[in-house]
Amino acid sequence: MWNKSAQNRPSSQATGARLAPPIPSHGATPSTAEPVALPAPSAPSSATEPARAALAVAESAIACHLKIAGEISGNSDLYIDGEVRGKIRMAGARVTVGAKGLIHADMEARELVIHGYVEGSLHATESLHLGASSRVQGILLAPRIRIDDGAALHGTVETIAAPVAPKPAAFPKAPAVIRAVASEATEHEEIIP
């Protein structure tokens, strides 16, 4: 038939949690202690790069040993610590170049934060920030530009007007409602057309 003792045992596969082995007791007899669930390991944080720690969790990243040639586009925030050659177009997002980042590309984004080396045209629709360790060669276009002490810039800087959000269309005024009162004929009144 079937084994009743196997039916009564808890299954670690059914719970989906990582279980620690039971802790043996100090006595000679085995312990009947239940397994203990271990917490999930947390991601290590990097104290050397405060700019990256301040970014949102749902960002994309190009690590320091990656090299990409071509066009990068999208709408999620992007952190670059590797090497990129080509074009970077992230219209509604923030692009951060880390201290180890090496960029030979034209960049367009809502917000640009530079801590590494960039050669190319930089266009930000909201703001552009050059950190103290940044080395930039090219054209900067943004409504707001911040350059920290120690940043190296060789090129031109131009502030542009911030894009104006379109105003919602004003609703046309509704014409006054004129009520037509129809005369009701009673038994004693005569209506002549």
pLDDT digits (tens, 9 = 90+) for 2-60: 555 555 555 444 444 444 445 544 444 444 444 444 444 444 444 444 444 444 446 88
The model's pLDDT over 146-159, given as tens digits with 9 standing for 90+, comes to: 999 999 999 999 98
How many folded domains does the chain comprise? 1
The model's pLDDT over 55-88, given as tens digits with 9 standing for 90+, comes to: 444 688 999 889 999 999 999 999 999 999 999 9
Domain hosting residue 133, numbered range: 50-159
In a domain, 74, yes or no: yes
| Confidence at residue 160, expressed as pLDDT on a 0 to 100 scale | 86
In a domain, 96, yes or no: yes
| Among 102, 103, 105, 100, CA closest to 89 | 105
In a domain, 67, yes or no: yes
| Confidence at residue 116, expressed as pLDDT on a 0 to 100 scale | 96
In a domain, 124, yes or no: yes
| Among 73, 155, 158, 60, CA closest to 109 | 73
Distance from chain centroid for Cα 92: 10
In a domain, 32, yes or no: no
**Percent of the chain's residues with pLDDT above 90:** 48
Residues 95 and 91: their CA atoms lie apart, in Å, by 10
In a domain, 95, yes or no: yes
The model's pLDDT over 140-191, given as tens digits with 9 standing for 90+, comes to: 999 999 999 999 999 999 988 877 666 666 655 555 555 555 555 555 555 6
In a domain, 30, yes or no: no
In a domain, 40, yes or no: no
